[in-house]
């Protein structure tokens, strides 16, 4: 039984000026409009308001993580500031145009290289 699909994007050589709460919030709003999803709560995990001595410095952990809940599931974003990389998942039981979501996301984050994977979720 098919439950929905998930678009997975691994993007490198991105525009790191987009790796902040304001830009990611804007991305989530625009993406939800583009693919016809109803946005719910948006949560962030990052170094915002964290004392300097406790901030992340490891290239594999320094960045922003955001989860945009949508009525039909979620959009998860992990940015890695020092590597210029974004790992992103869009999962929904409601159908959406993966090509439009992919093109918009790559353009928004300015990725010069990326890999896209689409997974059909559920048990056949």
pLDDT, tens only, 36-55: 999 999 999 999 889 999 99
What does the pLDDT read at residue 123? Answer: 83
All domains of the chain, ordered by start, with CATH? 2-122 (3.60.90.10)
DSSP 88: E
Which residues, in sequence order, are CB contacts of 50 under 8 Å at separation 6+?
A: none
Nearest residue to 35 (alpha-carbon basis) of 120, 104, 123: 104
- For 115: left if phi > 0, alpha if psi spans -120 to 50, otherwise beta; the answer is beta
What does the pLDDT read at residue 80? Answer: 97
pLDDT of 2 above 90: no
Mean pLDDT of 66-83: 97
Mean pLDDT of 11-24: 98
What does the pLDDT read at residue 1? Answer: 78
pLDDT of 124 above 80: no
Alpha-carbon gap, residue 124 to 106, rounded angstroms:
31
User: pLDDT category, 5, cuts 50, 70, 90?
Assistant: very high
Nearest residue to 29 (alpha-carbon basis) of 68, 82, 73, 55: 68
In degrees, rounded to 5, the angle at the alpha carbon of residue 63 between the alpha carbons of residues 19 and 36 is 50
Q: Which residue has the higher pLDDT, 10 or 48?
A: 10
Mean pLDDT of 114-119: 98
pTM, to two decimals: 0.93
pLDDT of 92 above 80: yes
pLDDT of 81 above 80: yes
């Amino acid at each position: 039984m098919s439950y929905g699909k998930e678009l997975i994007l691994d993007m490198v050589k991105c525009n790191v000026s987009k790796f902040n709460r304001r830009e990611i919030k804007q991305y989530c709003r625009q993406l939800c409009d583009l693919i016809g999803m109803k946005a719910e709560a948006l949560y962030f995990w990052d170094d915002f308001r964290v004392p300097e001595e406790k901030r992340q410095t490891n290239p594999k952990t320094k960045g922003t993580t955001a989860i945009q809940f949508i009525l039909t599931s979620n959009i998860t974003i992990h940015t890695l500031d020092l590597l210029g990389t974004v790992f992103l998942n869009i999962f929904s039981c409601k159908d959406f145009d993966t090509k439009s979501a992919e093109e918009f996301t790559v353009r928004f984050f300015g990725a010069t290289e990326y890999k896209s994977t689409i997974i059909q979720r559920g048990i056949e």
